[in-house]
């Protein structure tokens, strides 16, 4: 699959992650585990693609300027630590444990997101040594 095609698919998945209830399937991608909403405003969802042998973890960004999630925007500006980072690390660990010892254990793990979710995806990439893909917005 070309990088451009994969990036387009990841953009579609990122959009699906913004829905109140993300769909179980998006094209060739099937939801893996359960989405993780968190009291800090964090939201993560993972999808697996059996054809490309990839799993993508999507971190949702801020939807509105004055939402509960807006505080994370400021965290990226001043370099402080936000509870959403801990929630994202817990979600990433949860997905890694879920796939351990299964057919998915040899799949490539990708992270993506947009807005602050893209920043969180990048942070998780660095913390866990994953394959990060740029945000689409």
77 versus 11: the higher-pLDDT residue is: 11
Tell me which residue range forms the domain holding 41: 3-132
pLDDT of residue 70: 52
16, part of any domain: yes
Read out DSSP for 7-46? HHHHHHHHHHHTSSS--SEETTEEE-S--EE-TTS-EEEE
- pTM (two decimals): 0.84
81, part of any domain: yes
pLDDT of residue 75: 55
Looking only at the bridges linking them, the beta strands covering 43-49 and 29-31 are antiparallel
116: domain CATH number is 3.40.50.1820
pLDDT of residue 38: 84
Does position 71 have pLDDT exceeding 50, yes or no? yes
pLDDT of residue 18: 87
**pLDDT digits 0-9 by tens, 83-137:** 888 899 999 999 999 999 999 999 999 999 877 888 889 889 999 998 776 554 4
Question: Structurally, how many domains does the chain consist of?
Answer: 1
3 state SS of 103: helix
Alpha-carbon distance of 76 to 120, in angstroms, equals 9
Please answer whether residues 42 and 87 qualify as being in contact, where contact means their C-beta atoms are separated by less than 8 angstroms.
yes
137, part of any domain: no
Instruction: For residue 64, name the pLDDT band (cuts at 50, 70, 90).
Output: very low
């Amino acid at each position: 699959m070309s990088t451009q095609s994969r990036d387009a698919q990841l953009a579609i998945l990122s959009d699906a992650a913004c829905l109140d209830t993300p769909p179980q399937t998006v094209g060739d991608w099937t939801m893996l585990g359960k989405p993780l909403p968190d009291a800090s405003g964090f939201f993560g969802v993972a999808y697996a693609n059996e054809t490309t042998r990839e799993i993508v973890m999507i971190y949702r960004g801020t939807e509105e300027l004055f939402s509960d999630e807006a505080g994370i925007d400021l965290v990226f500006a001043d370099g402080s630590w936000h509870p959403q980072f801990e929630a994202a690390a817990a979600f990433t660990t949860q997905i890694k444990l879920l796939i351990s010892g299964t057919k998915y254990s040899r799949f490539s793990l990708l992270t993506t997101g947009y807005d602050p979710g893209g920043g969180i995806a990048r942070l998780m990439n660095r913390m866990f040594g994953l394959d990060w893909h740029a945000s689409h917005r």
